[in-house]
Amino acid sequence: MSTTSPVRCVLKAQSLNGENPVWDADSGRLFWLCLREPALHAFDPRTGQDTSWKMPASLGSYALTRTGAVVALRTGLFDFTFDDGSLRFLAPPPFDPRRFVFNDGALDRQGRFWIGPMYEPLEPGDASPAPREAPFWRYDGEGKWHAGTRPVQIANALAWSPDGRTLYFGDTPRKTIWAADYDPHLGLPLNERVFARVEEGSGPDGASVDSEGFLWCAIHGAGKVVRFDPTGRVEREVRMPVRNPTKPAFGGEDLKTIYVTSANHTLSEAERRQRPEEGNLFAFEAPVAGLPGIRFVPPSGK
């Protein structure tokens, strides 16, 4: 089922790799990142102002804290403070940083930070016989990580059901989203099963869950955002004015505005000139509200 929900451009970002929008109700701003710039951004829809903080290495994901954010760089996990722009080292990456970067990440309902990899070796390439995929990890504090899912090559579609008892995660090259039973007390997924197959475009990109438990997922390369019901059936599609939407997130005072990031790094310079909307930040109104935001809860370590 397609829908004609009007989509508007709210920021002409022309981002190489816009990703991971997160609404901050306290400040009324939408945080987002560009993995390849690399930078963390904060967009104020009331003024149209976009503030950014450059990062020293590829930025895959982040989780908001009271004073800033925990940022997942290629070189490791850091505590970033907005006021002075300082970075404090927390943990090394759980992978070889010459072969992988962090990609999609999110907080579970208890504030634990989960994040997955993207296989992107540095030049001149990768001659290692080691697997070119790795699992999603949970950060356990004191520099420790817990491998929690099957290995993936490009981690995406990470989200939780409203009750926190179902974990969703995907692998873009496999064009698959899985669901797993999630123990909210232990932070462990069990009983992985296929939730949905996405044959169009490159496959599933980032995702968010609404208050009815439906999963909204950007379909990279197919120019649309799809709403799946809790059984994995497509309930509706929203056509986007760009080829590569990357992730939807709920925001606004009533949490009924869906913001969608996009990317243009796969386009040639000529294509970027012809399609200047690629890489911009978009918004449309949702039929139901999203879920309230969660802040990172520092683990005690294990």
Burial of 150 (0-12, 13-18, 19+ CB in 10 A): middle
Q: 31-43 burial, b if ≥16 CB within 10 A, otherwise e?
A: bbbbbbbbbbbbb
Q: How far is CA 235 from CA 19, 60, 241, 286, in A?
A: 24, 29, 20, 13
| Cα 244 from Cα 284, distance rounded (Å) | 16
- Told to judge if 205 belongs to the known catalytic residues of this protein, a careful annotator would answer yes
pLDDT for 300 equals 77
Q: Where are the domains of the chain?
A: 2-285
CATH topology of domain 2-285: Neuraminidase (2.120.10)
| pLDDT tens column, 93-135 | 999 999 999 999 999 999 999 999 999 999 999 999 999 999 9
Beta-carbon-side half-sphere exposure of residue 157 (alpha carbons within 13 Å): 38
- On whether 229 is known to bind a ligand per the annotation, the reply is no
- On whether 50 is known to bind a ligand per the annotation, the reply is no
pLDDT for 5 equals 73
- On whether 280 is known to bind a ligand per the annotation, the reply is no
Q: How many CB atoms lie within 10 A of CB 152?
A: 26
Q: What is the pTM of this model?
A: 0.96
| pLDDT tens column, 251-293 | 999 999 999 999 999 988 898 889 999 999 999 999 999 999 9
| pLDDT tens column, 56-69 | 999 999 999 999 99
| pLDDT tens column, 138-160 | 999 999 999 999 999 999 999 99
- On whether 264 is known to bind a ligand per the annotation, the reply is no
Q: How far is CA 129 from CA 119, 132, 133, in A?
A: 14, 9, 12
- Give the residue carrying structure tokens 């310079």: 269
Task: Exactly one of 205, 210, 229, 254 is catalytic; name it.
Answer: 205
- Asked if residues 232 and 213 have their Cβ atoms less than 8 Å apart, the reply is no
**Residue 43: pLDDT above 90?**
yes
Average model confidence (pLDDT) across the chain = 96
